[in-house]
Amino acid sequence: MSKADATERVRRLCLALPETSERLSHGTPSFFVQEKRCFLMLWDNHHGDGIFGFWSAAPPGNQELLIEADPERFFRPPYVGHRGWLGVRLDRAVDWDEIAGIVEDAWATVAPKKVLASLDIDADRDDAR
């Protein structure tokens, strides 16, 4: 898959989530909840690191768990890694179902509680059917 196709696929995953927007931040496509809280940034060769992938917010403990499980695909990104953010390579074999889950987790990690609560109500309604 080309970088452009992978970028577009990540973009679609992000923008499908409620109250999400995209804008450039630090010169790269970045995705925000309610136009305020960034949850994912796409990067291509950031400061010459040779990696095409993204950095995303992650629930507590996920960064360590995923890096330990597969250090070829996951890494601790600079600048935000100390806050638990996860680096995900898109220049390796990609499991798009797994990527979708990582994107959803990133969004949920930074989304306001009010937005999350409204989704929980909808999920409960779906479970009741």
Write out the residue range of the structural domain in which residue 18 sits: 3-128
pTM greater than 0.75: yes
Instruction: Please determine, for residue 26, whether its predicted confidence score (pLDDT) is greater than 50.
Output: yes
Rounded CA-CA distance 118/105 in Å is: 16
What's the pLDDT score for residue 123? 44
Dihedral angle sign, alpha carbons of residues 6, 80, 21, 27? negative
- Exposed e or buried b for every residue in 30-44, given b needs 16+ CB within 10 A? bbbbeeeebbbbbbb
* Between 114 and 124, the higher pLDDT residue: 114
Rounded CA-CA distance 75/101 in Å is: 17
Q: CATH no. for residue 74?
A: 3.90.1150.30
pLDDT tens string 43-86? 998 888 888 999 999 999 999 999 999 999 999 998 888 899 99
Cα 3 versus chain centre, distance: 16
- Count how many domains the chain has: 1
